[in-house]
Structure 1
Amino acid sequence: MEYRILGNTALKLSTITYGAFAIGGNMWGGNEKKDSIDAIHASLDNGVTSIDTAPFYGFGLSEEMIGEALKGKDRSKVQLLTKFGLVWDGSNKGKGEFFFEAENEGKTIPVFKFTSKENIIKELEESLKRLKTDYIDLLQLHWPDATTPISETMEALELLIRQGKIRAGGVSNYTLDQMHEAQKTIALASDQVSYSMLNREIEKDLIPYAIENNIGIIAYSPMERGLLTGKYFKEGKLKNSDHRNGYFSQFDLEKVKTFLEKITPVAESKNASLSQLVLRWTTLQKGITIVLAGARNAEQALANAQAMSFDLSHEELAFINSALSEI
């Protein structure tokens, strides 16, 4: 495993970071608690020291399971990354920006983006309780909220850093303009954004800005929610409640399938899976600090960690990029 410093902070994170969205269950067709906790343990046992989660993942369930999984572990050797700003329980009292309706246990739940100072402080305390810790290593805004001034949100992060409740403050899903505005109040640690072989838009302006300003980039959905594993083309069936049924429709699936077939020999030459090859490629892209990889069981977690066990030559990277250009 490699470890990288996040932006302008003192945080040293594992290049492959455990992404805990799927173990929350909601939007992923459910989950198995034992398998989820085993996945976290397997990650820690194989060099993955950083875990990224959010209150919204499973409506608190993901954070709770992480807290349970870390019981008895040395907290100083684990970096906890969580978020704030998605509210679903009505505590926003009609404020904020409506986002979407989520399904949970057969119920439809309205979710709002709400990043007021008061709400951030409230959410942090709830996360600390669920995670069974007294500080968060990186607290991130989950999605921009058009109803709250960016300066107010950033001031809340500054306050929490001064209080010692968080070690660093970052954002997720921020555009370049929003980053510029946030930087007027706080030196951001990072921006967590969607990035994959099939989604490289941030290379145009966000990554150059992040490099110039020493801001970390945390890449999420590097596997495009499982599409780049290749399994979808062999199995093809997802549970009806799985959001990926609609998500995958944005891609030219035939071209994606052809691309994966082209790069499979590279993976085989490394004794690696397609998933591991895709993860390793992502970690080697300019400006990418760490890469999130989800796992629902110990086997998947081990495979993710082992993606850092091999390297890719300039020639191999050029071959992959050439094949990508044909999608």
Structure 2
Amino acid sequence: MEYRQLGESNVKVSAITFGAWAIGGWMWGGAERKDAREAIRASIDKGVTSIDTAPIYGQGTSEEIVGEALEGIQRDKVQLLTKFGMTWEGTKGTFGFSSTDNSGKAIDIYKYAGKESVIRECEESLRRMKTDYIDLYQIHWPDATTPIEETFEALLRLQEQGKILAAGVCNYNAEQMKQADAVIKLASNQVPFSMVERSIEKELVPYCIENNKGILAYSPLQRGILTGKIKPGHKFEAGDHRPTTKFYQPDNIARINAFLGLIKPLAESKNATLAQLVIRWTIERPGITVALVGARDANQAIQNAKAIDIKLAPEEIDFINKHLYALSLV
């Protein structure tokens, strides 16, 4: 495995990091708790020492599973990355959207990052994960109702108390990062990035490179479609959010699969899967520190970790990019 520093912080993370959204079950059609624990342990065995989760993933379920999976594992051998600022209890902040929890109960999601709420959320995350500190604490989405300075003063307090080691953001633009960085030195920004979703390369990537901030790329497999396993007519489980997204519209599924067919021979020449080739391409991209990749069971976790073994020559990256830039989505 390769390990990379997050900005100027003291936190070092595995270049392939376990993304724990799906194991929370919420918006992913459910998940098996036992399989999820085994997936995390299998990842750690393969050198994937960093786990990224959030309270909203299953309304506490994902963090609880992470805590269960890490029982008996030396705490300083792993890095826990979690978030705050998406609440399903109360109506403070900016309304996000309506959803249902894992039991089918209707819930409303709000983006709220007031100081006292942040501190309370941190305590609850520590409890769920059965730990006394969080390696990277990240705001999940911008909260338009709370001044950025107030939010990050809370993180400064938590850092001074030793409850978090580093502060990060998710889904922030460059200007928002500047404001937060004036309060506490930011380590990173977690943003969507994949072969078919490269919008951050225009402004955010140059800013992060220039200011030495890490980028954690989430959905590098575009929630599964870049594995090549999602074909036109694919049937999704009830509660799965993916069919509502742009990339899962029938025409785009067909176009993406055609692109994958062009690069599949390269993956096969390296005895690798398409997913492994895509993950390796992602962490080779300028400015990208980490690829966050989810797994529902141990086998998926092991296959994800093996992506680190792939070596891509400059001309092979150029070959992928040539076909990628010709891909047109609707």
User: What is aligned with 1:30?
Assistant: 30
String of CA shifts for 1:88-114, please: whole Å, max 9, x gaps. 022xxx321100012122221001000
String of CA shifts for 1:148-184, please: whole Å, max 9, x gaps. 0001111111111111100000000001121122122
**Structure 1: which 4+ aligned runs deviate by more than 4 Å?**
none
The letter of the residue matching 1:289 is T
Query: Please, which of 189, 206, 228 is the counterpart of residue 208 of structure 1?
Result: 206
Distance of 2:231 and 2:263 partners within structure 1? 15
User: What is aligned with 2:304?
Assistant: 304
The letter of the residue matching 1:182 is A
1:47-86 → structure 2 map (5 Å cutoff): 47-86=47-86
2:225 and 2:253 in contact (8 A); partners too: no
The letter of the residue matching 2:146 is T
Question: Residue 42 in 1 paired to residue 42 in 2?
Answer: yes
Query: Please, which of 74, 92, 115 is the counterpart of residue 95 of structure 1?
Result: 92
User: What is aligned with 1:261?
Assistant: 261
User: What is aligned with 2:139?
Assistant: 141
Distance of 1:62 and 1:254 partners within structure 2? 32
Distance of 2:317 and 2:235 partners within structure 1? 31
String of CA shifts for 1:32-73, please: whole Å, max 9, x gaps. 011000100100100000000000001000000110110010
Distance of 1:240 and 1:278 partners within structure 2? 27
In the alignment, structure 1 segments of 5+ residues that lack a partner are: none
User: What is aligned with 1:14?
Assistant: 14
Query: CA shift at 1:116, angstroms?
Result: 0.5
Moved more, 127-136 or 96-105: 96-105
SS at match of 1:169: strand
The letter of the residue matching 2:23 is I
Query: CA shift at 1:234, angstroms?
Result: 7.2
Distance of 1:196 and 1:207 partners within structure 2? 13
- TM-score of the aligned structures, taking structure 2 as reference length: 0.96
1:259-298 → structure 2 map (5 Å cutoff): 259-298=259-298
String of CA shifts for 1:271-306, please: whole Å, max 9, x gaps. 000000000000000000111000000000000000
Distance of 2:323 and 2:161 partners within structure 1? 49
In the alignment, structure 2 segments of 5+ residues that lack a partner are: none
The letter of the residue matching 2:281 is W
Query: Please, which of 223, 236, 246 is the counterpart of residue 244 of structure 2?
Result: 246
User: What is aligned with 1:3?
Assistant: 3
1:219-238 → structure 2 map (5 Å cutoff): 219-233=217-231, 236-238=234-236
Distance of 1:234 and 1:15 partners within structure 2? 32
Aligned CA-pair RMSD = 1.1
Matched length? 324
SS at match of 1:231: coil
Moved more, 2-11 or 181-190: 181-190
Distance of 2:232 and 2:263 partners within structure 1? 16
String of CA shifts for 1:216-250, please: whole Å, max 9, x gaps. 10000000000100101177111131101112346
Distance of 1:40 and 1:52 partners within structure 2? 11
Distance of 1:204 and 1:294 partners within structure 2? 26
Query: CA shift at 1:11, angstroms?
Result: 0.9
User: What is aligned with 2:121?
Assistant: 123
Distance of 2:105 and 2:111 partners within structure 1? 19
- TM-score of the aligned structures, taking structure 1 as reference length: 0.97
The letter of the residue matching 1:98 is F
